[in-house]
Structure 1
């Protein structure tokens, strides 16, 4: 069997093993499965076939599944984010998952005829496939943010936007959190909900949201184009509210002044607009804050799920709100 045939057989075996480790058809395997795969393929680089003594420590744990070992393998392929601090060594399911992979790869007899360099190249290919699963994990991972109830509502929203900005999705999160706020504030109205990438002009919308005769524009980084939209809205007899990131509020005001519309539009920070409204809904009562923020985030996630395919836009609701 040629090296290319052995590589195909090995990759098919790895994929079949990975698919078999899914807890259900619609869920990805747990992180310890990927850690087990990375560790076993690392051991196969220099040893074939693998015997129990080759992959088990004296404590009956899988070798090379510790956090530093997994981190080192990932970094070799350019993935530097923290995937599993403890690796998979202490997880109960790691050993059986690893042993199933060992058994499957040991059946590929062609490995015995390969040079050490060829086997290294094949294991590189398998590990590269597993690293792609790690990247998929980060891509679909929910936004994690601490909701400190002793902070102001404005600061809580600022923290949410900062966490979103770290993932490069602040614009989408800003749009949907404003949509969630409006939906909660006006439950009797149908607050429109569109994917962030759907341009207003595509659907003939005057802005991101319309409530009554007021158009809302939401942008974390205002540019002249949004000011032009506001001016067009005014000419079409709409009232206009422009919501921007707090750090860009002054810049937006200057642009509006240059266009001569600063005194004709409502210009607010997203952080204050959403944060104050949550506190109003909670009737400014400390005891109601956890429920209020949980309700907002649930509504946000509901609206994201309805129109977005990117699940990384979802916000993980912190335990202190549960």
Structure 2
């Protein structure tokens, strides 16, 4: 290897190490967080370095300039990626302005040390995007020595752990909503409407996360007074509200419903128990039957994820006890 080539390789490794440190220090792991350095690096390419962070704030100083789905997808397309990274392009990620200022400072500091390759910087973030899309899915372990409810509890524990690692995301709520949707689809067929977990209910046109006949089904990890008000609105319009939530959420929702005077008109279910009961109802008389029912549930769930979400790491695989997954 020639001396100049060795020097260039050392510089590239040093830059990659510095970018890796920045990503870890500032939590650039989630889909929204990854959008920001892509857009800011593109600004650096156009505006040149050093960058003025004040020029990268919108007029109302509430968002990062150009941080949206269109710009992010344009950058990804340069690298042959047509999958959607984030519908909002990272616009709703918490602390975007602070991360932008920190990343601008990083780029400016590197630039002050001498010329460096912005193409290499962009390729680093593109590699992180590819890793994100290829992320390992969640695993639901089927263990005949444990209850089905325990299997779902362990699954949600994985989701809670990932949610803590990727602050600002709603991993648990997303998985819960689409598992509920998968169960309902298995019972009522393909007429069930599925929406991204980031899509909010919109008035009485969509009175719940799922609407089946006169049922308005709400899925929530943390039911509060606003949800109880929606249930009251459901009742006022002749609908039957149902809340599917966590074990802790059941107690909270029941108390709020009691205070609102609708406790006897509102059904509240623990999602783990609700999903387990469905498996037992459909195929509870044999291990093989139960396992097949779980696989069918997750097949429907994964199909929903592929249709309405942009993060393939939300997929769930089945693993038998004693095997890797």
Interval of TM-score (by shorter of Structure 1 and Structure 2): 0.5 to 0.7
- Please give the secondary structure, in 2, of the residue aligned with 1:242: strand
Q: TM-score, normalised by structure 1?
A: 0.60
CA drift of 1:149 comes to: 2.3
Aligned with 1:79: secondary structure? Answer: helix
In structure 1, which of residues 183, 191, 203 is the aligned counterpart of residue 185 of structure 2?
A: 183
Give per-residue Cα distances to partners, 1:90-124, cap 9 Å, x unaligned: xxxxxxxxxxxxxxxxxxxxxxxxxxx647x44x9
Q: Name the CA distance, whole Å, in 1 between partners of 2:21 and 2:214.
A: 56
Say whether the 8 Å CA contact 2:143–2:320 is kept in structure 1: no
1:270 and 1:227 map into 2 onto residues whose CA distance is: 18
1:49 aligns with 2:10: no
Shift of 1:222: 0.8
- Contact kept, 8 Å, 1:79 with 1:131, in 2: the verdict is no
Contact 1:146 1:318 (8 Å CA) reproduced: yes
Distance of aligned partners of 1:75 and 1:205 in 2 relative to their CA distance in 1, 3 Å threshold:
same
The CA deviation string for residues 244-294 of structure 1, in whole angstroms up to 9 with x for no partner, is 111222111111111011111111111111121122222242222322211
| Gaps in structure 2 of 5+ consecutive residues | 30-112, 164-168
Q: Is the 8 A contact 1:143 1:163 kept in 2?
A: no
> Larger deviation: 127-136 or 276-285?
127-136
| Residue equivalent to 1:26 | none
1:162 is matched with: 157
- When residues 146 and 178 of structure 1 are mapped into structure 2, their CA distance, relative to the original with a 3 A threshold, is closer
CA distance in 2, matches of 1:244, 1:304: 20
Contact kept in structure 2, 1:145 and 1:159, CA below 8 Å:
no
Q: Quote the Cα distance in structure 1 between the aligned partners of 2:268 and 2:203.
A: 25
1:77 is aligned to 2:22: yes
* SS, match of residue 243 in structure 1: strand
Which position in structure 2 is the counterpart of 1:148? 142
Residue 315 of structure 1 is matched in structure 2 by 316
Counterpart secondary structure, 1:49 = helix
Deviation at 1:125, TM superposition (A): 6.8
Contact 2:159 2:172 in 1 (8 A): yes
Structure exhibiting the larger radius of gyration computed from Cα positions: 1
The verdict on how the C-alpha distance between 1:142 and 1:181 changes in structure 2, with shifts beyond 3 A counting, is farther
TM-superposition CA deviations, 1:66-113 (whole Å, max 9, x none): xxx9x96775333389x9xxxxxxxxxxxxxxxxxxxxxxxxxxxxxx
Residue in 1 aligned with 2:236? 235
Change (3 A) 1:202 1:132: farther
Structure-2 residue corresponding to 1:89: none
Q: How far, CA to CA, are the matches of 2:282 and 2:18 in structure 1?
A: 49
Whether the 8 Å CA contact 2:218–2:244 is kept in 1: the answer is yes
Q: Runs of at least 4 residues of structure 1 off by over 4 A?
A: 71-75, 319-322
Aligned-residue CA RMSD in angstroms?
A: 3.7
| Length-normalised TM-score, structure 2 | 0.60
